[in-house]
Amino acid sequence: MKKFDKKELNKIIILGFLLIICLWLTYYFHFILKTEVIFTHLFYIPILLASLWWARKGIIIAVCLAVMLLVLSLADPLKVPIYTDLIRASMFIVIGTIIGILSEKRYLLEGKLRAYSKNLEQRVEERTSEIRELQEKQKAILDNISDAVVVLDNNLNIIWANSIAASQYQVTLGEKCYQLYKDQKKPCSNCFARKTLADGMVRSSEEESILKDGRRFNFIISCSPIKDLEGKIISVVEVFHDITERKKDQEKLKEYQENLEELVKERTNKLKERTKELKDANLKLQELDRLKSMFIASMSHELRTPLNSIIGFTGIILQGMSGKITEDQRKELTMVKNSSNHLLTLINDVIDVSKIEAGKVELFIEEFNLIDLVQGVKESFKVAADEKNLKLSLEMLKRLIIKSDERRIKQVIMNLVSNAVKFTDRGEIEIKVKKKDDRVKVSVADTGIGIKKEDMEKLFKQFSRIYVEGKPVTEGTGLGLYLSKKIVDLLGGQIEVESQFEKGSMFTFTFPLKYKEVKT
Amino acid sequence: MKRILVVEDNEINMYLCSRILKSSGHEVIEARSGEEGVELAIKDKPDLILMDIQLPGIDGLEATKRIRESEADGTIPIIALTSYAMTGDREKALSAGCTGYIEKPINPDTFMSEIEKYL
């Protein structure tokens, strides 16, 4: 049993107070007014009622009343027989007990009921907050999707809209759904909402409309019914999915594609034109190339014809065929002869370069004695070397038959020896010919000015000249070594140089004993 | 003294050649076209022929071929006067039947020594 709480204590005080009043009234009526005892018992009725009200303590009250009645009976001056009082007292106890038991039961039942009701209240509260949370969630979701969502009643009035619908499409609650569109006064001819309200089917399609604010609006609309618990359709929900941008992009894409096609066409035409131009240009180039070759051939011929006579007749006069000449005449004519020979070399070099660059050098491969050739070269430089007081020595085998292009080999050796003579003022020039396995090695060493390190790499380049103090060291075209290298390459050989500035240089070239054609 | 046929259309060259040859004591027969060269070669039977390659009418190669065809033994040395610029002239000359070649321009210092190799 529970302890008394404050409320119960109050009830006890009220009961006690009533009890005292009843006792006093009983006493007063019984002893002062000498009323019948039975009448005085009426005063206990409120007590009994009160104990019914506060029934749990009914037994205690009943016992109290019984004791009080016995005390009153004992003190009764009228001397009512004691057994009647005992009967009354027992009656009170019985009634009190019954009341007590009944009220106890009622109290327990009430307690249960209270607990049930409290539980119920709590559950209701929980459910309510759950529902509220769910509502918030749904609202948040509906407000945050990019689609506009509206709910229409069966008269096509908008009764709910998410925030996108309100902000993007100026939806106001209460207006008709078709009022979203510009200048529209009645439902659309193919109104989905009305159809769905009628048959409960879900519908969806792609539409285009003009909105209230004049914007073009492409969208996918889907329409679904909302039913009440009995399955009756009470409203519809419409979802507007905006595809305006996508539509625009598609249109743009289409436009681009069309443009692209046009562009491709245009470019193709241009390309065709260009190809034709190039073809024409190519033909022109071929023609030019042909003209160039013709020019070189004819130029060399035309230049050489007068040169023939200059060289020839200078030679004739120098040889004294036309009579005796003076020393001065000899000296001057020798200058003419040397210049003419130099001019001839220049012309030949230019022709060779143009041939090499056009890939038109034809080799004439035959067997010949290299020693004879080198001997011949040495002989032809004898005069020049003697003039500069240079020693020209030759170290070689007695006979060396090789298979190569005699004239080209001679051209290279001539070039190297001529350079050596040109760049050497004192000392000697040494030509060596050696055979090593299936290769021939020819070297030309001099004690001339040598080559600076920085000049080495441009040595074999076209038109490269060696400059000292800003002036070319000697006359020439700068084609000699370039040609020599190209020729040696063609013959399957290599050319190398070792040099020490102001000490001298040594050019060495090696080539196969027997030329083997390399098809390119 | 030998008889040398010079086939050359250029007057200056012709003069130069004959001058050098004559001063060495040889007799010079002059021909100024391929056809004339063939005719004189067959008729005069020279000891040596100097044949320019570029000639009006039939060229030196054709003339050489014809001379070789007319000969029974093919012993007359025919020296081609070749031009440096013309690729393959020497090869063509040798395969047409020339004995040797001298590259133009003629150098009087070496000309006679080269000719004498073939005489």
Q: Do A301 and B13 touch (CB under 8 A)?
A: no
Give residue A512's pLDDT. 92
Rounded Cα distance between A80 and A70, Å, is 11
Residue A417: name the closest of A394, A451, A389 by CA.
A394
B102 alpha carbon, distance to own chain's centre: 9
Instruction: State which amino acid sits at residue A466.
Output: I
Tell me the β-bridge partners of A174.
none
pLDDT category of residue B93 using cuts at 50, 70 and 90:
confident
Give residue B85's pLDDT. 54
Query: Are the beta carbons of B40 and B5 closer than 8 angstroms?
Result: yes
- Contacts of residue A309 in chain B, CB cutoff 8 Å? 12-13, 16
Is the pLDDT at A490 greater than 70? The verdict is yes
Name residues 372-431 of chain A within 8 A of B (Cβ). 407
Here the tokens at position A165 are 């619908």
Rounded Cα distance between A54 and A330, Å, is 168
Residues in chain A: 520
**Phi (first) and psi of residue A47, to 5 degrees:** -65, -45
Q: Do A301 and B105 touch (CB under 8 A)?
A: no
Q: Is the dihedral of CA A169, A173, A177, A182 positive or negative?
A: negative
Rounded Cα distance between A465 and A485, Å, is 15
User: How many CB contacts within 8 angstroms connect chain A with chain B?
Assistant: 72
**Phi (first) and psi of residue B4, to 5 degrees:** -120, 125
- Contacts of residue A307 in chain B, CB cutoff 8 Å? 105
Q: Do B20 and A360 touch (CB under 8 A)?
A: no
pTM over 0.80: no
Query: Are the beta carbons of A164 and A145 closer than 8 angstroms?
Result: yes
Mean pLDDT computed over A245-273 = 91
Tens-digit pLDDT profile for residues A197-245: 888 889 998 888 888 888 888 889 999 999 888 888 889 999 988 888 8
Measure in Å the smallest separation between the Cα of A331 and chain B Cα atoms. 16
DSSP state of A177: G
Is the pLDDT at A469 greater than 60? The verdict is no
Mean pLDDT computed over A95-121 = 80
Tens-digit pLDDT profile for residues A497-517: 999 888 899 999 999 988 887
Q: Is the dihedral of CA A465, A468, A470, A473 positive or negative?
A: negative
Element (H, E) at B63: helix B60-70
In B, minimum Cα distance to A353 occurs at: B85
Give residue A126's pLDDT. 94
Question: Which comes out higher in pLDDT, residue A389 or A342?
Answer: A389
Please state which architecture CATH assigns to domain A361-512: 2-Layer Sandwich (3.30)
Task: Classify B78 as helix, strand or coil.
Answer: strand
Is the pLDDT at A30 greater than 80? The verdict is no
Q: Do B19 and A360 touch (CB under 8 A)?
A: no
Give residue A257's pLDDT. 92
Q: A3-17, B10-24, B94-108: which range is least confident on average?
A: A3-17
Mean pLDDT computed over A445-462 = 84
- Contacts of residue B111 in chain A, CB cutoff 8 Å? 315
Tens-digit pLDDT profile for residues A45-72: 666 666 666 655 556 666 666 666 666 6
Query: What is the percent of chain A where pLDDT is above 70?
Result: 80
Long-range Cβ pairs for the range B113-119 (8 Å, 24+):
B114/B79, B115/B4, B115/B21, B115/B48, B115/B50, B115/B79, B118/B48, B118/B77, B118/B79, B119/B2, B119/B47, B119/B48, B119/B77
Q: Where in chain A is the domain with CATH 3.30.450.20?
A: 145-242
Rounded Cα distance between A339 and A329, Å, is 15
Query: Are the beta carbons of B74 and B66 closer than 8 angstroms?
Result: no
Q: Do A304 and B106 touch (CB under 8 A)?
A: no
Helix boundaries (H) for A319-368? 327-357
Rounded Cα distance between A67 and A51, Å, is 16
Tell me the β-bridge partners of A209.
A217
Is the pLDDT at A519 greater than 60? The verdict is no
Helix axes A406-423, A480-490, angle to 10 degrees: 150
Q: Do B91 and A362 touch (CB under 8 A)?
A: yes
Fold that domain B3-116 belongs to in CATH? Rossmann fold (3.40.50)
Structural domain boundaries in chain B: 3-116
Q: Where in chain A is the domain with CATH 3.30.565.10?
A: 361-512
- Contacts of residue B91 in chain A, CB cutoff 8 Å? 362, 364
Q: Is A313 on the interface with B (CB under 8 A)?
A: yes
The beta strands (E) that lie in A424-503 are given as 428-436, 439-446, 467-468, 471-472, 494-500
In B, minimum Cα distance to A311 occurs at: B107
Please state which architecture CATH assigns to domain A145-242: 2-Layer Sandwich (3.30)
Average pLDDT, chain A: 82
Q: A42-56, A385-399, A481-495: which range is least confident on average?
A: A42-56
Give residue A1's pLDDT. 44
- Contacts of residue A319 in chain B, CB cutoff 8 Å? 23, 108-109
- Contacts of residue A406 in chain B, CB cutoff 8 Å? none
Which of A296, A308, A361 has its CB closest to that of B104?
A308
**Phi (first) and psi of residue A313, to 5 degrees:** -75, -30
Q: Is A312 on the interface with B (CB under 8 A)?
A: yes
Question: Which comes out higher in pLDDT, residue A199 or A39?
Answer: A199
ipTM of the complex: 0.80
Instruction: State which amino acid sits at residue A480.
Output: G
CA angle A153, A158, A164 (to 5 degrees): 135
In B, minimum Cα distance to A351 occurs at: B85
Task: Classify A435 as helix, strand or coil.
Answer: strand
Q: Do B107 and A301 touch (CB under 8 A)?
A: no
Mean pLDDT computed over A320-349 = 88
Give residue A264's pLDDT. 92
